[in-house]
Each structure stands twice: as C-alpha cells, then as structure tokens.
Amino acid sequence: MALMTYASVLEKRGDYALLSALGGGDGARFLVVMQQSLVAALVGAAVGLAALYLLARLLPSLVPEVELWVEPWLALTALVGATLMAAAGAILPAHLATRVAPMEALRR
C-alpha cells in the first residue's frame, strides 16, 4: 500500500504543486493523500471480503468435505487492520506531498 501511494504521489507531483499554488495548505495536501490511501484500502478489503463470502458460499457445493467459516469479528479485524496499515503506509508519501513547492506547477 505504501509503495502504491508513494508512486501515486510522485506521479501527481504537479497536481500537488498546483494545489499549493492555489492556496491549499500542507494539511489539505496531507489529507488528500491519506483519503486516497484509505479509500483504496477499504475498497480492496471490501472486495476481498466479498470474494471470501462468495467462496464460502460456493465451496460446499464444489467440495462438500470442506467447510469454510469466517467469524464476523475476524472479518472486522481484517478491515481495521487494512485501514491501519494503509494509514501508516501513507504517512511518508503524504509528508512528501506537503513538501512540493508551488513553483513546480509552472514546470509543466
């Protein structure tokens, strides 16, 4: 997650410079990066949990000897863990986005 967020910040460096030139403060740029990272993590976790649920429904018809059961607290723990890892992994790229000079917007 951290590598994906870092690559995204590097790719959008000019956009963050423009945001800074238009008056967006460091906090706004930091929050933009954190929000993007958290949304990506939550969407990924939701898709993964949906795939797990689908597999749990299909597996008994394919292989009757195998039973797949996921406790709800375990799914919630995975969701919380994905969110915390995404937030931790986005701190350094978000800090990098706050250090982009507004003059970089003119280099494009």
- DSSP secondary structure letter of residue 108: -
- Amino acid in position 99: R
Per-residue pLDDT, averaged over 20-46, amounts to: 90
Residue 9, both tokens: 């910040």
pLDDT for 108: 61
Per-residue pLDDT, averaged over 18-41, amounts to: 90
Angle at which helices 26-62 and 13-21 pack, to 10 degrees? 140
Residue 56, both tokens: 């749990």
* DSSP string for residues in 49-106: HHHHHHHHHHHHHH-TT------HHHHHHHHHHHHHHHHHHHHHHHHHHHT--GGGGG
pLDDT for 69: 82
pLDDT for 3: 84
Residue 38, both tokens: 């958290």
Q: Which pLDDT tens digit goes with each residue over 44-103?
A: 988 998 998 898 888 888 888 888 888 889 889 988 998 999 999 999 999 988 888 888
Angstrom CA distances, 68 to 8, 63, 97, stand at: 37, 11, 43
Residue 40, both tokens: 């990506």
Q: Which position has the higher pLDDT, 107 or 26?
A: 26
- Taking a C-beta distance cutoff of 8 angstroms, is the pair 35, 93 a contact? no
